[in-house]
A = this chain, B = another copy of it.
Amino acid sequence: MPTSARLPFDPIAEAMRQWRDHGWSEAALGMGVITSVIRVQQILAGRAEGVVRPFGLTFARYEVLMLLLFSRQGEMPLGKIGERLQVGAASVTNAIDRLEGDGLVRRRVNPNDGRGVLAWITDRGRNLAGQATDALNQNVFKAVDLSPTDADTLFALLGTLRARAGDFD
């Protein structure tokens, strides 16, 4: 865990109080929401990274692997990977570089477009992705500390934000 300090009060609620005391009541809730999202991301992503690290993976690379695993041909143009994962081209290049270095993925020129590159998942990649998924399901995904109802509500609200931010239609 990045930080193990347990505070006797909620630091974000305290910040919201400060916001209101300074006459920024209109913005207090938005500040609280954004700060909370950042913190919860740290917590949850930290757990996922911890589970995936023993497999020599990071969560970002794991996501690439799963995307390839689920694709029809086991391969996909790098650009499409970035779109699906909502991540920039440079990040995709970086992830594929490392996956390729570990023999989990390989590159080949896109036969239909000479400037494009296809990444395809190797057998080792398929194997490792499966093992990492079992570990993640068991120790992280199934273990989200929320009732199914609350988790549903949270998922829906986050979906609204994603849609309104223009991620999808």
Contacts and interface: CB of A to CB of B under 8 A. Distances in A.
A24 B133 contact: yes
Interface in A76-114: 82-88
Contact of A169 (B8, B146, B153, B164): B8
Interface in A1-57: 2-13, 15, 18, 24, 26-34, 36-45, 48
Interface of A: 2-13, 15, 18, 24, 26-34, 36-45, 48, 66, 70, 82-88, 133, 136-138, 140-146, 148, 150-155, 157-169
A41 B41 contact: yes
A63 B37 CA distance: 15
B29 A152 contact: yes
B7 A167 contact: yes
B154 A30 contact: no
A42 B167 CA distance: 11
> Which 7 A-B pairs give the minimum distances between C-beta atoms?
A30-B141, A27-B141, A41-B41, A27-B137, A36-B158, A30-B144, A145-B164
Tallying the copies of this chain within the complex gives 2
Contacts of A141: 24, 27-28, 30-31, 34
A83 B158 contact: no
A142 B27 contact: yes
Contact of A145 (B31, B66, B85, B161): B161
Contact of A6 (B4, B43, B166): B166
B146 A84 contact: no
Contacts of A145: 160-161, 164-165
